[in-house]
């Protein structure tokens, strides 16, 4: 029997990244056309997205964008060569190093604070929130917790996305 210990799946430099930004902030102006196209695509036809009078009658200062549109609005354009084999876009930010061979999406939750209006400038900053090495039935794995904070031009936090990745 060997006393050789397997190397950790999470190297020290990855633990040191917790709380740090994973790239530069990304900003985008919320346009009426894109917000309305998104609302139609997700099947949310609330009049506050399409009718200025309905939005004002509901207490808003203008047309509202659907809540999760903030995540879509800051996605940079990419080419087909930027698509990974698993169908996800390659991440161009800081690399989170792990001793694993594959990863997958583990879920996402959103928290919304302030409505996003057409004309707002939204800035997204993604951080590594936490890294957890765990033992499962089929061996060790890593949970990666990413947090993206979305702010408007008034520095108000409009939303926070918390995404979990599973790597083994």
- Residue 3 belongs to some domain of the structure: no
Owning domain of residue 73: 17-167
- Residue 1 belongs to some domain of the structure: no
**Nearest-5° Cα angle at 95, 92 to 99:** 140
Largest CA distance in the chain: 75
Per-residue pLDDT tens digits of the chain, which is 168 residues long: 555 566 677 777 776 778 888 888 999 999 999 999 999 999 999 999 999 999 999 999 999 999 999 988 887 656 677 776 766 666 666 676 666 667 778 889 999 999 999 999 999 999 988 888 888 888 788 888 889 999 999 999 999 999 888 877
C-alpha Rg value of the chain to the nearest Å: 19
- Residue 157 belongs to some domain of the structure: yes
Find the CATH number of the domain harbouring 47.
Answer: 3.10.129.10
Measured CA to CA, the distance from residue 91 to residue 138 in angstroms comes to: 27
- Residue 6 belongs to some domain of the structure: no
Q: How many domains does the chain have?
A: 1
Measured CA to CA, the distance from residue 67 to residue 60 in angstroms comes to: 14
- Residue 102 belongs to some domain of the structure: yes
């Amino acid at each position: 029997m060997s006393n050789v210990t397997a190397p950790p799946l999470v190297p020290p430099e990855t633990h040191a990244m917790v709380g740090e930004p994973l790239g530069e902030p990304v900003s985008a102006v919320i346009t009426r056309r894109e917000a309305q196209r998104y609302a139609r695509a997700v099947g949310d036809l609330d009049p506050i997205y399409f009718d200025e009078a309905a939005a004002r009658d509901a207490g808003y200062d203008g047309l509202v964008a659907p809540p999760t549109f903030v995540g879509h609005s800051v996605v940079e354009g990419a080419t087909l060569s930027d698509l990974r084999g698993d169908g996800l876009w390659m991440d161009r930010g800081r690399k989170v190093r792990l001793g694993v061979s594959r990863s997958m999406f583990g879920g996402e939750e959103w928290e919304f604070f302030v409505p996003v209006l057409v004309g707002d400038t939204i800035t997204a900053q993604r951080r590594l929130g936490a890294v957890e090495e765990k033992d499962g039935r089929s061996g060790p794995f890593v949970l990666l917790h990413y947090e993206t904070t979305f702010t408007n031009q008034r520095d108000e936090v409009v939303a926070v996305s918390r995404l979990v990745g599973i790597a083994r």
